[in-house]
Amino acid sequence: LTNNGLSGRMSERIGNLTFVKVLDLSDNNIKGSIPAELGKLSKLVYLRLSYNAFTGAAPEGLSEMKGLQLLQLQSNRITELPIITQLDESFYKNSTFVTDCGVPSAFDEALKCEHCTMCCNANEDCYPQEETHISEWGLNYGTFAAVLFACFIAFCCIVSLFLYLYRKRNYSEHSARESIEEADKYALSKIGKNSVYSYFVKDKFAGYLLAFATLIIQIAILVFFIIASEANLQDDRIDIQFTWKCPPDSDVCKDKADLTDAGWVIFCLLM
């Protein structure tokens, strides 16, 4: 019954249709809350209520529908979902479980949906909700970046210690001092005399402080980009572009991004 101009409210007698397996009421103007009796349709495998005007909390009975292969509730005014276990994604892939769990949201906080496969926002743009490799390791992007920086600093310290021990073993004190001076001159020529980082190879304490402060500020700015990369589709601070569409006339969500394989090849060559 999709796109039939239906209006009004969904009757509680919907619960009498116990043998129904497919129910598609999408793209209508049905208002009010979704009746709890809908949860009695235990044989349902396909349920689309998207693009209506449903409000309030979705019924708890949705969590009891163990045979559902598709559940699409996006573009409504649903404020709360029951805990729905992960649906079988082998049939509809990313289009299996779609709700309004993206940002920007029509509400102060986006809908929480742990097992949704696709999150749509108030602009009807969507994005798949998938685990990243970082989250699979039990880390967030901030922790991963901190670990990465710590490993880099540890590596630099190990290299510096190795070079120090190598010079001490193979050079006299005088020749070691000359070697360090030559290395400083070489580093200065590569860094540039007008760069703030040139103070790292000069014997000035104030210069060290200035260069170190500049480095800390640049790392702090980088933190904002790292936070924006977090794949939390309910966080307004993310910088992910919602490029998918789940249209009213189809149960399949498609990526509308203009990125192509040729574009990635050109990007890699430029880099």
| pLDDT surpasses 70 at 34 | yes
Q: Which of the 8 DSSP states describes residue 269?
A: H
Going through the chain in order, the beta strands assigned E by DSSP cover 7-9, 22-24, 29-32, 46-48, 53-57, 70-72, 77-80, 97-99, 118-120, 126-128, 244-245, 254-255
Please, are residues 32 and 10 in contact by the beta-carbon 8 Å criterion?
Answer: yes
Provide the pLDDT for residue 195: 73
117 touches 89 (CB < 8 A)? yes
CA distances from 120 to 96, 129, 136, 157, 268 (A): 13, 10, 23, 46, 31
Q: Is the pLDDT of residue 268 over 80?
A: yes
Residue 148: Cβ-neighbour burial (10 angstroms; 0-12, 13-18, 19+): exposed
Q: Examine the pLDDT at 167 and tell me if it is beyond 80.
A: no
Mean pLDDT of 11-31: 93
For the cut 90, the answer to whether the pLDDT of residue 181 exceeds it is: no
Claim: this prediction has a pTM higher than 0.75: no
Do residues 120 and 75 make contact, with C-beta atoms less than 8 angstroms apart? yes
